[in-house]
Amino acid sequence: MKQHQPDYILIGITAIIVVFGLVMLSSASMVKSQETYGQPYYYLKHQLLYAVLLAAPLAFALSKINYKFWKKIAFPIFIATVLLLIAVFLPGISFKAGGATRWLRLGPLQFQPSELAKLAVIIYLAALYENRQKKSDKENFLTLIISLGIIAGLIVLQPNIGTAGVICLTAAVIYFAAGAPLWQMATLVLLGLGGLFSFINIFSHAANRFQIFLHPEFDPQGIGYQINQALLAIGSGGFFGRGLGQSLQKFNYLPLLLKNWVL
């Protein structure tokens, strides 16, 4: 099969985003890294190892795989993802942090299956709706609802409503691009809004976050502390920022700044 030229624009944009992210990580994590590990660039070195030295060769290897291969294994990927999402509730291989059960620990490796779910849903739905004309609109819509119900439901139970929302939105965009009828898209929007308000009523932390989103000034020393400190960080820098490495909020004013940076 004829090999196509790489998409150099996409590669260049990705490289710029990675470099920018590493610079921001280095600036934001210096204080926490020094306090925790006695060196200012521990988190930067950690990300360089995993995100660059390991991920870059893996990305290159995956780019050599014909895209049709992913279509063949789309359903097994979906099933494997569901099993991993179930595994986070099993004692011994999962662990909690910040009141949530989202992580699996396999030896020295720690990861969130919900992050893998983002990619799995894209591959599965793309393969599923490549030829959506082979099935009726009703069958396609039902498949989407069931698939999302399983994946998003397991993620919500962790609880991780934000990631579940991202996955549902991504799935809706894929379904729309596949030529879904407008009435089905309208139904998805209504179901999404209904689910959101249901989560807010069921999970107290979701209600708190929604309240703080609408009124950041509420309880600035309690549940509103994190978002208010983030607003202070943005406001103190103005449009052009305070300058690289000059942030004040990184001096332990944002307590959850590094929670999701460790792979």
Contacts 24+ apart (CB under 8 A), 188-197: 188/144, 191/145, 192/165, 192/168, 195/168, 196/165
The band of 261, judged by pLDDT with boundaries at 50, 70 and 90, is: very low
- 1 pLDDT more than 60: no
The pLDDT of residue 90? 81
Percent of the chain beyond pLDDT 70?
86
- Name the token pair of 128: 């599923």
Give me the sign of the Cα torsion angle 213, 214, 217, 221: negative
Strand partners, 100: 97
Taking residues 226-241, what's their average pLDDT?
A: 76
What's the pLDDT score for residue 98?
60
Q: Whole-model pTM above 0.85?
A: no
Q: Is the pLDDT of residue 79 over 90?
A: yes
Give me the torsion for CA of 81, 257, 99, 201, rounded to 10°. -90
Q: What is the pLDDT of residue 258?
A: 46
Q: Comparing 221 with 166, which gets the higher pLDDT?
A: 166
